[in-house]
Chains A and B, each alone.
Chain A
Amino acid sequence: MRALTKKNILIFVGILLTFAIVQGLISVGIISSFHEITIALICINIIMAVSLNLITGFTGQFSLGHAGFMSIGAYVCALIIMRYDSTAGFLMGILAGALVATIVGILIGIPTLRLKGDYLAIATLGMAEIIRVVFLNLEITNGAAGLSGIPRHANWFWLFFFAVITVLTINNFIRSSHGRACISIREDEIAAESMGINTTKYKVMAFAIGAFFAGVGGALYASYFYFLKPNIFGFMKSIDILVIVVLGGLGSVTGSVVAAILLALLTTFLQAFTEIRMILYALLLVVIMIFRPQGLFGTKEINDFFKFRKKHERIE
């Protein structure tokens, strides 16, 4: 079995340890319920950022509509768990939310992914707004008042579980031939087509996978924060996610994870100054663009740094 390599066992142990430590800290009470919210936000942001990174960072399709997919996952999941209030209902809700988001992603992706650059950004932005306005006017979603009292099934275990699944799945995808096909579109679309890659197909595929996990993220959000209204998923939410991706590095899963953690911590510390939070965000982006335009990690991953070290050891 190739699954039992040293590296994979190390990753598995690392995941278990992270889970156990945080779980321990929560049970002992060192992590208060207030800080638990930060941890939940980190998990959801990791899911959102890594899935957007697949679309924008790896496939090179600039999307400003990720919050739209998130809201679909959130509303579908909320409506399901409000009727089937159980863990099974919760899991079903996540799956349904993710699948509906995927279908919408494919339907929207096919026409809009013909566009490039700024035009695609505007089209996806418009799409997210349309989704928001639909939820604002539907009866089943209770319009602007939103849904409240959604049963809370998402806890540290499920949040962590889905964050890990998202990161591993997307990471695996990128390191497959299909993933390389997506990356080749970012690098040079004309050359990719000439090498036998159906670029439209792989753009839509990346968009659909990104939408699927955005749906998962939204579903977890709905169940953890037990309150939804369309305004949560506005333009600013998409920008929030994009900031994480750009800060971490377009084309780095590690970067997205690290940036999601950093920004969630920053937001928690700035809780008292909500008004200047967005100003600081903007400032942060400007500073990054000046000093490190490729983001914290560029296109590097955590194992690239280990490789580098090994090379040095050999030379010595």
Chain B
Amino acid sequence: MPLLSVEKLTKSFGGLTAVSSVTMHIDKGELVGLIGPNGAGKTTLFNLLTGVYEPTSGSIKLHLPQEEQDKDGKVKTKVITKELGGLKPYNVTKAGLARTFQNIRLFKDLTVLDNVRIAMHQNIRYRLPSAFLHLNKFHNEEDRLVEEAEKLLDIFKLSHKKEELAKNLPYGEQRHLEIARALATKPVILLLDEPAAGMNPNETAELTETIEWIRKEFDLTILLIEHDMSLVMKICERIYVLDYGMLIASGKPAEIRTNKRVIEAYLGEEVSNA
């Protein structure tokens, strides 16, 4: 059973159908790419998956395997299916989907550490009274948060800048911080909206490695939108291609590269030599 299954998902804004009857699935541990020309509806699809928009019709289902012990002490895996369509963004995040944004949306005037700690809020283990009184439990929990946040920041070589304001980071590091922040919510599926946008080839190559590394390290399933074909073709196991809100192709990178419709709509001729 796939981890995420999308059935005939449609979103219209008045007369314009931005996403039209998209059916797709993502298996556990996969790294899936979503490509298409500008205005094809990629970000709208992301916004539907993450609850920013409510779908006009169709469904988004998350199938989470959960281990359960029965009476004899045997461990069984049971799949719990959750409908994500129509949920608020924070509930989608709680269910296990985290995202980054195409145009970086960090908490600019807060420190790097605070950016990550805010994303950890849904997993804190103290309640409002402790927040007011700063009891021992509060301090222990806050220490744990800082420790975990620093671990995450270490991955992106940001821990020495944890007291820096997010807006003062160079562009590439801001992109990294956004991924670190998304990881702090402990997601099952990570959605990356153009993570390499505005990066130079060196930075993109580095990012490619980082994405592969975090996928293994955090046992993640990743869906990413990207225009940089060097990144997409290198790391994606499967690719979906959108055009005018409709899926026009899906398959392995090699298949997509030679698909006539995709070349016509998006890739153009020269990429086939790449």
Residues of A within 8 A of B120 (CB): 177
A154 to chain B, nearest CB (A): 23
- A87 within 8 Å of B (CB atoms): no
Q: Contact check, A195 vs B108: say whether CB atoms are below 8 A apart.
A: no
Q: Can you name the residue of chain A whose Cβ is closest to the Cβ of B97?
A: A194
- A29 within 8 Å of B (CB atoms): no
Residues of A within 8 A of B134 (CB): 2-3, 172, 175-176
- B89 within 8 Å of A (CB atoms): yes
Q: Contact check, A2 vs B139: say whether CB atoms are below 8 A apart.
A: yes
- A191 within 8 Å of B (CB atoms): yes
- Whole-angstrom distance between the alpha carbons of A2 and B122 in the complex? 25
Q: Contact check, B105 vs A190: say whether CB atoms are below 8 A apart.
A: yes
B52 contacts which of A180, A184, A188, A190 (Cβ < 8 Å)?
Answer: A190
Q: Which of B93, B134, B136 has the most CB of A within 10 A?
A: B134
A178 to chain B, nearest CB (A): 5
Question: Which secondary structure dominates where chain B touches chain A?
Answer: helix
Q: Contact check, B122 vs A187: say whether CB atoms are below 8 A apart.
A: no
Q: Contact check, B131 vs A173: say whether CB atoms are below 8 A apart.
A: yes
- Whole-angstrom distance between the alpha carbons of A196 and B101 in the complex? 15
Chain B, 229-253, contact with A by CB distance < 8 Å: what is the 0/1 string? 0000000000000000000000000
A169 contacts which of B121, B132, B184, B185 (Cβ < 8 Å)?
Answer: B132
Q: Contact check, B89 vs A193: say whether CB atoms are below 8 A apart.
A: yes
Q: Which of A2, A180, A183 has the most CB of B within 10 A?
A: A180
A196 and B110 in contact, given A173-B131, A176-B134 (Cβ under 8 angstroms)? no
- B94 within 8 Å of A (CB atoms): yes
Chain B, 83-99, contact with A by CB distance < 8 Å: what is the 0/1 string? 00000111001100011
- Whole-angstrom distance between the alpha carbons of A169 and B128 in the complex? 11
Question: Which secondary structure dominates where chain A touches chain B?
Answer: helix
Residues of A within 8 A of B131 (CB): 172-173, 176-179
A255 to chain B, nearest CB (A): 15
Residues of B within 8 A of A176 (CB): 126, 130-132, 134, 138, 142
Q: Which A residues, 152 to 182, have Cβ-Cβ distances below 8 Å to chain B?
A: 169, 172-173, 175-181
Residues of B within 8 A of A195 (CB): 90, 93, 98, 118-119, 121-122, 181-182, 184-185
A54 to chain B, nearest CB (A): 12
- Whole-angstrom distance between the alpha carbons of A172 and B107 in the complex? 21
- B124 within 8 Å of A (CB atoms): yes
Q: Contact check, A197 vs B133: say whether CB atoms are below 8 A apart.
A: no
Q: Contact check, B132 vs A196: say whether CB atoms are below 8 A apart.
A: no
A192 contacts which of B99, B118, B124, B145 (Cβ < 8 Å)?
Answer: B118
Q: Can you name the residue of chain B whose Cβ is closest to the Cβ of A201?
A: B90
B88 contacts which of A2, A3, A183, A198 (Cβ < 8 Å)?
Answer: A198
Q: Contact check, B93 vs A196: say whether CB atoms are below 8 A apart.
A: yes
Q: Which of A179, A197, A205 has the most CB of B within 10 A?
A: A197
- B117 within 8 Å of A (CB atoms): yes
Chain B, 178-205, contact with A by CB distance < 8 Å: what is the 0/1 string? 0001101100000000000000000000
Q: Contact check, A1 vs B138: say whether CB atoms are below 8 A apart.
A: no
Residues of B within 8 A of A172 (CB): 131-134
Residues of B within 8 A of A198 (CB): 88, 90
- Whole-angstrom distance between the alpha carbons of A212 and B185 in the complex? 31
Chain A, 120-157, contact with B by CB distance < 8 Å: what is the 0/1 string? 00000000000000000000000000000000000000
Q: Can you name the residue of chain B whose Cβ is closest to the Cβ of A307?
A: B163
Q: Contact check, B99 vs A180: say whether CB atoms are below 8 A apart.
A: no
Q: Contact check, B107 vs A194: say whether CB atoms are below 8 A apart.
A: no
- Whole-angstrom distance between the alpha carbons of A205 and B122 in the complex? 16
Which 7 A-B pairs rank lowest in CB-CB distance, beginning with the nearest?
A: A176-B131, A196-B93, A196-B122, A187-B107, A193-B89, A191-B105, A195-B119
Told that A187-B107, A188-B106 touch, could you supply 9 new A-B pairs with CB distance under 8 A?
A172-B131, A180-B121, A183-B110, A194-B89, A194-B98, A195-B118, A196-B185, A197-B118, A198-B90
